[in-house]
Amino acid sequence: MAKTSTQKPEDYIVPLNMNGLEGRMLRLPAKKANQPEILFVYGQHSSLERWWGLALEFNKYGGLTMPDLPGFGGMTSLYKIDQEASIDNLADYLAAFIKLKFRRKKVIIASMSLGFAITTRMLQKYPELNGRVEMLVSIVGFSHHEDFVFSQRRILFYRIATSFFARRFPSAFFQNIFLQPFYLRRVYKYSRFAKEKLSKMSGDEFDRTMDMEILLWRINDLRTQMKTNHEMMTINNCTKGIDLPVYHVAAPKDRYFDNTRVEIHMRQIFSDFKIYYTRASNHAPTIIATAKDAAPFIPTGLRRMFIKKYR
């Protein structure tokens, strides 16, 4: 295998066609014969290329598989096959993928943010899969709408706005008018969320980040993003327990989640809860993060756990 420094995501991406949906899948083979299989489930505003750096870090501990989710990363949305892009339906898709890809094999599941909420719902709906999960890892995941640090006023605004743009015609209008590259390049950097991401960047880093932002806004289905965003503002995954421990990575200064509430809710669901804090100061790696940049999101304690369990 080529050295990490020369690896490129396009060399490991293959087509993914399942249930009438067309997308892609990243597959990094294990470096050693006895290493486990790792399934990485990404979150909002994603593509396989965005998570390349983190994928390389996980690949140190096993074979890494990362599939597109319907409506994300350029994959066909569930709306194209007359299904709603709900967390429930995304959980069904993920369960079908695991059964198809891994069959009877056991797998480590590492899920990011929304991806963890989808994974949790999947394990609740398909408890027969729990026995095939060797280890469940949450990277800044959440389980309940009360995990968010937002004010009630802000949450109410998000609920109303996302409900409106989760509809067919408003989402199509917004995507075709305001998500055009020329508009995004001139206006997006002044938005609230962009300022948080771009304020400390300049030069080539700023240009590459803007290029990736534009790509992500273009390839991710807006209606799917709005529907899942709306459900995130109302979600409650604490209604059914899962007989698995969860290994949770938290950001000390997460601008989205209250770590105390996250722990309380996860303890209601899972048989055990262990937390590891990343050294990073933000919620997630940047959208152009290298393996070195993404490395803090697999903290030392979690790395030791991988080595201990699978050496």
Residues forming beta bridges with residue 245, ordered by sequence position? 272
Output the CA torsion sign for 147, 150, 155, 161.
negative
129, 156, 157, 158 from 153: Cα distances, Å:
39, 5, 6, 9
Its pTM stands at: 0.94
Residues 6+ apart with CB under 8 A from 303: 61
Report the SS3 class of residue 117.
helix
Q: Which residues of 4-43 are buried (b: 16+ CB within 10 A; e: fewer)?
A: eeebebeebbeebebeebebbbbebebeeeebbbbbbbbb
Each domain of the chain, given as residue ranges in start order, spans: 10-150+237-310, 152-227
CATH number assigned to the domain covering 10-150+237-310: 3.40.50.1820
pLDDT tens, position by position, for the chain (311 residues)? 444 458 899 999 999 999 899 999 999 999 888 899 999 999 999 999 999 999 999 999 999 999 999 999 999 999 999 999 999 999 999 999 999 999 889 999 999 999 999 999 999 999 999 999 999 999 999 999 999 999 999 999 999 999 999 999 999 999 998 899 888 888 776 676 666 666 666 678 878 888 999 999 999 999 999 999 999 999 999 999 999 999 999 999 899 999 999 999 999 999 999 999 999 888 899 999 999 999 999 999 999 999 887 76
Question: What is the DSSP-derived secondary structure letter of residue 222?
Answer: H
Residues 6+ apart with CB under 8 A from 271: 241, 242, 243, 244, 245
Distance CA(173)–CA(245), nearest Å, equals: 44
